[in-house]
Structure 1
Amino acid sequence: MIQYGIQLPVQSQTTIYAEAWEAAAGPGDLVEIARTAERAGFAYVACCDHVAIPRRLATAMSTVWYDPVATLAFLAAATERVRLLSHVAVVGLRHPLLTAKQYATLDHLSEGRLILGVGAGHVREEFEALGVDFRRRGALLDESVDALREALGPDEFPEHHGTFYDFQDLGQRPRPAQTRVPLWVGGSSPAAVRRAALKGDGWLPQGDPREQLAARIEDIRKIRAEAAVQGPFTVGAVTEPLYVGTPDWDVGRRTITGAPDALAESLRAYRAMGVHQIQVRFRSRSRAELTDQMAAFGAEVAPLL
């Protein structure tokens, strides 16, 4: 059965997907949404990462971007089972030992619920303000993944010697609760797809239309086969917006609506492509409508997937 998760609203409010009600929402809304996700069988709740938004992008992206570690830790204390995904952490902005300290602590405190999603980032000014070379963000991410494998592994004194980062004999505890923290790589460029195939435990596409997804999944399979990469690998997809039932308001032309069996039939196409987990989102006019949609999806659509 395909798994399903959700990118949390409220914590990022870019105009591409934020609903009007989110502007006045806050911590209590996030807690209720996370608890609803847990009750409705969602595999994870996800939180994304930006440190600072330049003025030129603020109108479109907004400047509302909650810190993912703080937000996921807050929600870990309010839930018991749902997993906690960074979608995605721009790990090149920070030294891997700092990233490891934050996310190892989160995994420890949540008793092993972390999924670390990572990506290269795209906002030049953000890198410049933090003293990081934007042009080398791909190379920084490649090495960060390797360094994080060591820093989040079982060794209290991880060791890594690379081009950008070099450390040894520096102990970090607490260690993650998981023996191996799942590391999913985000992005849909050829470089990102290759990075996910070779270095990741999973792939988080960035809004690929479903008609393009099958070809990218086949690319991942070929890359892994040619490199003889072994082990489980989780293929993800971000679905079109959903609305369970027949809406009496304009939910947008791309939104999939209808009875549970119709939604399930549409979403099963992802499984046929080789997708293991789908990230869903719902059109809504209030937190109550969103949580009602999530509950309906878990009860009526998910069993048909």
Structure 2
Amino acid sequence: MHPRFQRLIGTGGFSIGLELPLDNDWSTAGQQLREKQGRPFGVPDMHRHGELARQADESGFSALWVRDVPLYDPSFGDAAQVFEVFAYLGYLAGITRNAMLGTAAVVLPLRRPWLTLKSANSVDQLSDGRLLLGVASGDRPMEYPLFGLDFAGRSEVFRRAVELIRHNGEGSLHNGAQLVPQPHSALPLLVAGLAQQTPEWVGQHMDGWLSYPGTPEDHHKRIAMWRQVAGDKPYITFIHLDLEADPEAPLRRFHFGMQTGARGLIAELQTLRDAGVQHVALHLRRSQRDVSTVIEDLSTQVLPHFHS
């Protein structure tokens, strides 16, 4: 296991983070505010993002995860956290101190590999070695023609970029040229999905897997496959969560997540941990309650059951 994951998952082998944006724009109140402000569906309200990121960091969440969405596509209806991923990570590195900073995930074929590596190394230095570099091949065909790239050929481009990043560009520069800065330590590489590769290739070349949200049964099947090709490398997933104020509120599933009270969430997380999941990032855009209040409730009612 890559040493940096020890910091992520802790001595208990399981931890909880948050997926940004920290907005509830998919809730009833959030959608009403979005319509009032004239924002398209899936474009969150970011005016509290710094305040909420600091709160999450100080509340004990082990990681903050950001996504790479270069262009807002109405057919997908999700602009993620709006800001460019590496620029935003640089900002987060400056206002947080404890949480790991993860990408879920950088679309490698859309980016120049050397600039991706320089950006990642820069964030890693600015955050004092807190970067977890999740990568992907991309799933939005409209982006590729705008970048002058072939959507169908992205798997080979992805592999070449991974090779460069994996070795930090070593052996590719001549005549005394150097890439600066260097990372704080070797960057851990995680993959979202399979990135158009075989499971065997992913298990061999990546340090961890970012699995899509699902039920415990879904994860049992995926973890069995992952352990077969990757051994004990970390398995990470995400949950879309609407946490109710009543801790005893029953669990009701919806696509990619659930509405439940703290007790139901604790039971779900324990089931995922027992299945072999090592980190879960909670996505709060469906929260019917204020996000700051939800973060506080999670930190006092849920995190103590899993974070020593």
Q: TM-score range with shorter-chain normalisation?
A: 0.7 to 0.9
Measured after TM superposition, the shift of residue 235 of structure 1 is: 0.7
2:266 maps to which residue?
264
- Structure-1 separation of matches of 2:230 and 2:22: 36
> Structure 2, unaligned stretches of length 5 or more?
1-11
Classify 1:118/1:12 alpha carbon distance in 2 versus 1 (closer, same or farther; 3 Å): farther
Measured after TM superposition, the shift of residue 224 of structure 1 is: 2.9
Q: TM-score, normalised by structure 2?
A: 0.79
Counterpart residue identity of residue 287, structure 2? S
Indicate which of 8, 17, 35 corresponds to 1:5.
17
Q: TM-score, normalised by structure 1?
A: 0.80
Measured after TM superposition, the shift of residue 284 of structure 1 is: 2.6
Measured after TM superposition, the shift of residue 91 of structure 1 is: 1.1
RMSD after superposition: 3.0
1:50 maps to which residue?
69
Counterpart residue identity of residue 156, structure 2? A
Measured after TM superposition, the shift of residue 46 of structure 1 is: 1.3
Counterpart residue identity of residue 204, structure 1? L
1:245 maps to which residue?
245
2:204 maps to which residue?
198
Indicate which of 81, 95, 104 corresponds to 1:87.
104
Classify 1:102/1:40 alpha carbon distance in 2 versus 1 (closer, same or farther; 3 Å): same
The higher-RCO structure (CA 8 Å, 6+ apart) is 2
Structure 1 segment 182-261 matched on structure 2, within 5 A:
182-187=188-193, 191=197, 193-224=199-230, 233-246=233-246, 253-254=253-254, 255-258=258-261, 260-261=262-263
**The residue matched to 1:261 in structure 2 has which SS?**
helix
Contact kept, 8 Å, 1:186 with 1:196, in 2: the verdict is no
Residue 143, structure 1, aligned to residue 155, structure 2: no
Offset from partner CA, 1:183-228 (integer Å, 9 cap, x none): 1111157836444322111110122333211111111111235xxx
Measured after TM superposition, the shift of residue 239 of structure 1 is: 2.2
Contact kept, 8 Å, 2:208 with 2:233, in 1: the verdict is yes
Counterpart residue identity of residue 166, structure 2? R
Structure 1 segment 57-76 matched on structure 2, within 5 A:
57-62=73-78, 65-76=82-93
Classify 1:124/1:262 alpha carbon distance in 2 versus 1 (closer, same or farther; 3 Å): closer
Classify 1:293/1:158 alpha carbon distance in 2 versus 1 (closer, same or farther; 3 Å): same
**The residue matched to 2:236 in structure 1 has which SS?**
strand
Classify 1:18/1:285 alpha carbon distance in 2 versus 1 (closer, same or farther; 3 Å): closer
Classify 1:182/1:189 alpha carbon distance in 2 versus 1 (closer, same or farther; 3 Å): closer
- Structure-2 separation of matches of 1:12 and 1:137: 33
Residue 300, structure 1, aligned to residue 301, structure 2: yes
**The residue matched to 1:45 in structure 2 has which SS?**
strand
**The residue matched to 1:61 in structure 2 has which SS?**
coil
Counterpart residue identity of residue 124, structure 1? P
Counterpart residue identity of residue 184, structure 1? L
Structure 1 segment 8-27 matched on structure 2, within 5 A:
8-9=20-21, 19-20=30-31, 21=33, 25-26=45-46
Residue 106, structure 1, aligned to residue 134, structure 2: no
Counting aligned pairs with the same residue, the percent is: 25
- Structure-1 separation of matches of 2:174 and 2:225: 36
> Structure 1, unaligned stretches of length 5 or more?
152-156, 161-166, 226-231
- Structure-2 separation of matches of 1:208 and 1:197: 20
Contact kept, 8 Å, 1:90 with 1:121, in 2: the verdict is yes
Classify 1:172/1:189 alpha carbon distance in 2 versus 1 (closer, same or farther; 3 Å): closer
Classify 1:96/1:17 alpha carbon distance in 2 versus 1 (closer, same or farther; 3 Å): farther
Classify 1:124/1:174 alpha carbon distance in 2 versus 1 (closer, same or farther; 3 Å): same
